[in-house]
Amino acid sequence: MVWVNDIIQGVLTGGLYALFACGLSLMFGVMKVVNLAHGDLAIIGGYVALGVIAVTHIPVLWSFVVVVPIMAVLGYALQRIVIQAALDRGALTTLIVTFGLSVVIEAGLLQFINANSHSLGVGNAIITSSFSVGSQIQIAYLLLLIFVVAVVVLLGLQYFLSASKYGRMIRAVADDREAAQLSGVDYRHVFGIAAAIAFGTVALAGIGYGMYSQFAPTTGTDTILLFAFAAVVIGGLGSLWGTLLGGVVLGVAQQIGAQINISDEVLAGYLVFLAVLILRPQGLTTRRAQS
């Protein structure tokens, strides 16, 4: 029964990891940008939520209504102004620029806010309570909610990419940027839209993480980015549903590791990550380069 509990907890945590990872995967799939600032952007989402709640007194669970659009606009702007300029200078430049962005964000948060840990929705009944299944399994409402949100986001993204005009353009640009231009598609604008979606999803993840745990200026790189990377690589680069599978595998591995020895939680996740890299570097989902 202990193991069943571990697997359930791991799967649910995987939803949060998938939410972190899908934006990273989308930006890589569409513009071949490995966004090293992705984790910090999640944290920014958390801080923006803190600010929005303090100013508007909006309930924490509804804060995403304000935070996600803000982050999406920020994503579009950052893509058009900063990341596009890096892309024009070559793929390696985007690595350096997003790494720089990450450093600037962390330093900025330390400078203008503080190094303390923050958390969202402390004392909120829905966020902190859980229900029991049988005698040994306790499921937190929050984790279940985050998992459902992750599935809804992935379903929505898939529908958007496969059925909408802009989704079609995103896939076309990912396939062949030049041919898309010949059809009148401004790929810079399309990249901006993809970045807006990625930032929006990572903001959701940041809010979820803020309620689930606590965040500080450095949480973005030392926890979130690594988990997101692991989820993307385990699931398969550029595959949307692969991020959910990757997140779930990572979450379950961590829970089982913690069951063996509480200090092995994070290590166990990375061991699975390493094993996938060695045995199946294209990831668990075979559909490669498909969004």
Partner 1 sequence: MTEPERRAGDAPLLQVRDLTVHHGQLRALDGISLRVLPGEVYAIIGANGAGKSTLLRTIAGLHAPTAGSILLDGRDVTKVRPERRATAGIAMVPEGRRLFGSLTVEENLLVGGTYARKGPWNTERVYEMFGWMKDRRSQRTAQLSGGEQQAVAIGRALVANPRVLLLDELSLGLAPVVVQRIYGMMPQILATGLTVLLVEQDVSQALQVATRIQCLLEGHTTLEGRPSDVTAEQVEAAYFGLGSPSPGSPPAGGPRGYGGAGLGGVAPSEGKEAP
Residues interacting with partner 1, by CB under 8 A? 165, 168-169, 171-172, 174-176, 178-187, 289-290
Name the phi and psi angles at 228, rounded to 5.
-65, -45
Q: 133 in helix, strand or coil?
A: strand
Q: How far is the CB of 168 from partner 1 (least distance, A)?
A: 6
Residue 141 or 166: the one with the smaller Cβ distance to partner 1 is 166
Long-range contacts from 78-82, C-beta under 8 angstroms, 24+ separation = 78/195, 78/199, 79/191, 79/192, 79/194, 79/195, 79/196, 80/188, 80/191, 80/192
Cα separation, 245 vs 222, in Å, equals 22
Q: Using an 8 Å Cβ cutoff, are 268 and 257 in contact?
A: yes
Nearer to partner 1, 80 or 126 (CB): 80
Q: How far apart are CA 200 and CA 206, in angstroms?
A: 10
Helix (H, G, I), strand (E, B) or coil at 216: coil
CA distance 25 to 239: 7
**Dist. CA 15–CA 248, nearest whole Å:** 7
Read off the tokens for 247: 């997140």
**In the bound complex, what is the minimum distance in angstroms from residue 203's beta carbon to partner 1?**
28
Q: Hey, what are 204's tokens?
A: 């959701």
Given the complex with partner 1, which of 28 and 199 has the nearer CB atom? 28
> In whole angstroms, how close is the CB of 167 to partner 1 at the nearest point?
10
Least CB distance to partner 1 at residue 96 (A): 25
Rounded CA-CA distance 50/67 in Å is 10
275 or 289, CB closer to partner 1? 289
CB of 277 to partner 1, least distance (A): 25
What minimum distance in Å lies between the beta carbon of 175 and partner 1?
4
For partner 1, give the closer residue by CB, 19 or 237. Answer: 237
Smaller CB separation from partner 1, 190 or 250: 190
